[in-house]
Amino acid sequence: MGSIVSRLLSRLLREEEIEDIEEIKKETGFSHRKITRLYRRFTSLDKGGNGTLSRDDFHRIPELAINPLGDIITNGFFPEGEDQVNFRGFVRTLAHFRPIDQDNEKNKNPSATEPLNSRTNKLLFAFRLYDLDRDGKISRDELLQVLRMIVGVNLICSTKTPKGGI
């Protein structure tokens, strides 16, 4: 995302630094202003300065540590098997959370690919949150696990009753 030097030289953001900004715009539907702002956020999170975020960068956000689903969400940003996410991927994930464009729902154009924030894609993202091992299915254990994460420990598991009665 531009060299470190150019970033050091200009504190104010220039559009040229964001590669493919037009493509990102088309893909995600964010406005120019929003992409710029997200880029600023991206760079402030990216302590390593190498244009990608690692898991540690996410862990640095203090509020995520007290969010029960913090780690799952973090994993959702990283594509399968990778440990780094670039700005494109970052924005792509965030684009899932845009409000649904009303007109898109109306004129269903089956040939065109759905925008990232369509209902289907949102559901897909949510599905992936549950599907922890990314096998395309939600197993019973995965559901239980997510449940445990949200509820906390005070959960009697009727299937196993060890001595402690957890």
Q: Give the binding site for other proteins (CB under 8 A).
A: 11-12, 34, 37-38, 40-41, 44-45, 47-48, 54-71, 73, 77, 94, 97, 126, 129-130, 141, 145-154, 156, 160, 162-166
Query: Closest separation between CB of residue 133 and other proteins, Å?
Result: 10
Pairing outcome for strands 84-86 and 52-54: antiparallel
CA distances from 125 to 19, 74, 120, 128 (A): 25, 12, 9, 5
Question: Cβ(100)–Cβ(117) under 8 Å?
Answer: yes
Question: Cβ(85)–Cβ(78) under 8 Å?
Answer: yes
Query: Closest separation between CB of residue 102 and other proteins, Å?
Result: 15
Nearer to other proteins, 109 or 154 (CB): 154
Query: Closest separation between CB of residue 112 and other proteins, Å?
Result: 26
Nearer to other proteins, 105 or 141 (CB): 141
Nearer to other proteins, 21 or 53 (CB): 53
Question: Rounded distance, CA 12 to CA 119, Å?
Answer: 36
Q: Phi and psi dihedrals of 165, rounded to 5?
A: 75, 35
CA atoms within 13 A on the CB side of 115: 24
Nearer to other proteins, 110 or 165 (CB): 165
Query: Closest separation between CB of residue 97 and other proteins, Å?
Result: 5
Nearer to other proteins, 54 or 121 (CB): 54
